[in-house]
Amino acid sequence: MTQSLSQKPLLIKLGGAVLENDQALTNLFSALTAYLHKQQRPLLLVHGGGVIVEDLLKKMNIVSKKKEGLRITPFEQIPYVAGALAGTSNKLLMAKALQAGLSAVGLSLADGFSCKVTQLDPELGAVGVCSANNPSLINGLLEAGHLPVISSIGIGEDGRLYNVNADQAAITICELVGAELVFLSDVDGVWDAQKQVIAELNEQLADTLIRDNVIRDGMAIKVKAALQAANRLGYVILASWKNPENLVSLLAGEAVGTKVVK
């Protein structure tokens, strides 16, 4: 079914943990299907799959090392990483989407030359950073009513495969097609000191809460990534994939989770 892109597309970035939760994936795509039956807003997904990469490398007795939180990926390991992300993870999501009746199309950052990718740091090996390039393929799929499911694997101008941070890939795809961004993870938003979800968060409030150790550990990393995204896109939303009812409300434009603004 052909549709107009008069509405901004909505990009959902999925955290890796959801890929190991079959029921959560079923709930997610049920929510997307219910939403699309009511509205025709274009949707697209960007995903990582770190948990699947870690499982694969562990089974192969490959020790995964990190530098400042980023996985060091020697070029001899990138075929396995690409297989886990652009292969297994991507097709698991496609399978759930197709089962729910959605016309999913599996892509990487390289398809249609959508994004340019360059090496981030020689010490990290096959880890790349991407920039927006050509929106025609993704826009064409959206206009035709398809659901692009995009892995964070790219191809550099040197012809080599690169693993791109999935958050950064999601931001770049948003810039490419003018989409709004929702980060879905296993938390329902950013909590204040009373463990209540903060409806709207800016950099000043985030800095205060981080300094007071209210926002810490993994959530601090999520918040900093969201603030960087908001600086480029205007705002992003942090929400959970755990509650399907909230997902339907979120897709309908209701206030769910935490809105992070610049």
- Taking only the tens place, the pLDDT of each residue in 57-77 is 889 988 878 887 677 899 999
Residue 4 confidence (pLDDT) = 45
Q: What is the mean pLDDT of residues 221-248?
A: 85
CATH class of the 1-179 domain in this structure: alpha beta
178 is catalytic: no
Residue 3 confidence (pLDDT) = 45
Sheet with strand 115-119: strands edge to edge: 115-119, 127-132, 161-164, 153-155
Q: Can you state the angle between helices 90-99 and 22-38, rounded to 10 degrees? A: 50
Q: Mean pLDDT across the chain, nearest whole number? A: 89
Residue from 13, 116, 242, 259 carrying the catalytic annotation: 13
- Taking only the tens place, the pLDDT of each residue in 172-219 is 999 999 999 999 887 888 999 898 999 999 999 999 999 999 998 878
Half-sphere exposure at residue 204, Cβ-oriented, CA atoms within 13 angstroms:
0
Q: What is the mean pLDDT of residues 40-44?
A: 87
Evaluated on CA atoms 199, 224, 243, 27, the torsion sign reads positive
CA angle 126, 241, 207 (to 5 degrees): 70
Residue from 96, 116, 222, 259 carrying the catalytic annotation: 222
What pTM value is reported for the model? 0.89
The answer to whether residue 6 scores a pLDDT higher than 60 is: no
Q: 19-23, 93-97, 226-230: lowest mean pLDDT where?
A: 19-23
222 is catalytic: yes
Length of the chain: 262
Name the residue ranges covered by the structural domains of the chain. Answer: 1-179, 187-262
Strands 104-107 and 147-151: parallel
Residue 78 confidence (pLDDT) = 95
Residue 39 confidence (pLDDT) = 74
In whole angstroms, what is the distance from residue 103 CA to residue 98 CA?
Answer: 6
* Residue-wise burial string across 2-34, b where 16 or more C-beta atoms lie within 10 A, e elsewhere: eeeeeeebbbbbbbbebbeeeebbebbbbbbee
In whole angstroms, what is the distance from residue 151 CA to residue 49 CA?
Answer: 9
Q: What is the mean pLDDT of residues 241-248?
A: 76
In whole angstroms, what is the distance from residue 30 CA to residue 122 CA?
Answer: 42
Share of the chain above pLDDT 90, in %: 58
Residue from 15, 49, 50, 189 carrying the catalytic annotation: 50
In whole angstroms, what is the distance from residue 83 CA to residue 88 CA?
Answer: 6
Residue 1 confidence (pLDDT) = 39
Half-sphere exposure at residue 55, Cβ-oriented, CA atoms within 13 angstroms:
13
Residue from 15, 49, 96, 167 carrying the catalytic annotation: 167
- Quickly list H helices, the chain: 22-38, 50-59, 78-82, 90-99, 136-143, 166-177, 203-211, 217-233, 244-251
35 neighbors 251 (Cβ within 8 angstroms): yes
66 is catalytic: no
- Which residue is it, tokens 């009373």? 194
Alpha-carbon radius of gyration of the chain: 18
Evaluated on CA atoms 134, 136, 137, 143, the torsion sign reads positive
Question: Would you tell me how many other CB atoms lie within 10 Å of the CB of residue 87?
Answer: 17
